[in-house]
Amino acid sequence: MSYETLLLEIQERVALVTLNRPQALNALNSQLVGELNQVLDRLEADPQIGCIVLTGSAKAFAAGADIKELADKCFPQIYHDDHFAQADRIAARRKPIIAAVAGYALGGGCELALMCDFIYAADNARFGLPEITLGVLPGIGGTQRLTRAIGRAKAMEMCLTGRMMEAAEAESAGLVARIFPRDRLLEETLKAAHAIAGKSLTAAMMIKECINRVDETSLSEGVRFERRVFHSVFATADQKEGMAAFIDKRAPRFTHR
Ligand code: HXC
């Protein structure tokens, strides 16, 4: 299957998905959101894929929702089409997804990065939720996920002023896991993705499920949830293999089952 707004490259158990609308700085129009969901559906269903990397260009991860597509919409259209609910499906994906962000990650582009499991950023990355400058507000979870990621004070200030945050501040605020020089971003992200994809996919998915639970529950319920999942991992072949390999002093051969 080919896509007009994305590039897909498979490297062993890692899928690299590159947003590819350079003429619009990868603005998220409905075609791109649709194709992104199609490709993620396909990658999630493919047992050979253990980790997904989502990236953009050196200038822009994505400069937001496509303003030209949205400008003339009226309430009934935007309410019924609701294509940003489709974008929000990315947050419900079960396999690990890393965002590799260089350049602008603004508005819906920043929200897209926030829906990934963690963000690696190039030193030229700039994050922002500038919707207020357009007379609107974030609509793909930005007010919620940015606040959870960096706290109320910085999230409120960013959303109300629309200012951009540079990579160094994004790292110290906890929005970004690590920063790399821009020419090493993809290489370092793929290295991490291959490391994740080489582990047990079942364990990785369980870890993701447990960490995502943090936003939905109390500490005691979250700990109880984690313990139940921990018990269940002992039903997997990968637990037997991982522990046996440690005892035998050899590398594990996970079957992701
Ligand atoms: C549509 C966009 C776009 C966008 C850039 N372009 N961002 N088109 N939607 N979000 C287009 C420009 O119109 C231009 O096309 C081309 O990409 C290059 O952009 P320039 O502005 O010429 O580049 P530059 O001067 O380098 O400025 C880069 C920029 C600026 C600072 C990132 O483009 C910018 O401010 N973009 C908008 C950022 C933004 O407001 N995002 C939030 C969108 S609202 P032409 O054809 O003119 O050359 C949103 C809501 C989410 O995301 C919630 C939805 C429910």
| Structural domains of the chain ordered from first start | 6-197 (3.90.226.10), 200-248 (1.10.12.10)
108 is known as an active-site residue: yes
Clarify whether 111 is annotated catalytic: yes
Q: What does the pLDDT average to over 66-73?
A: 96
Indicate the burial class of 91 (C-beta count within 10 angstroms; 0-12, 13-18, 19 or more): middle
Q: What is the amino acid identity at position 135? A: G
CA distance 54 to 112: 10
pLDDT tens for each residue of 181-228: 999 999 999 999 999 999 999 999 999 999 999 999 999 999 999 999
Rounded Cα distance, 161 and 250, in Å: 54
Query: For residue 7, which phi and psi values (nearest 5 degrees)?
Result: -120, 140
How far, in Å, from the CA of 64 to the mean position of ligand 1?
7
How far is residue 233's CA from residue 222's CA, in Å, rounded to a whole number?
A: 17
Q: Which of 67, 54, 62 is nearest to 7 (CA)?
A: 54
Asked if 131 is an active-site residue, the reply is yes
Q: Per-residue pLDDT for 83 more than 80?
A: no
* Pocket mutation for ligand 1, best pick of 67, 110, 131 (most atoms within 8 Å of C-beta): 67
- Copy the structure tokens of residue 250: 């050899």
201 CB-near residues (< 8 Å, 6+ apart): 50, 95, 254, 256
The catalytic residue among 102, 103, 111, 173 is 111
Cα gap 192→135, rounded to integer Å:
39
Mean pLDDT of the chain: 97
For atom 47 of ligand 1, the residue with the nearest CA is: 24
Q: Cα of 239 to ligand 1 centre, how many Å?
A: 47
pLDDT in tens, 17-47: 999 999 999 999 999 999 999 999 999 999 9
% of residues, the chain, pLDDT over 70: 100
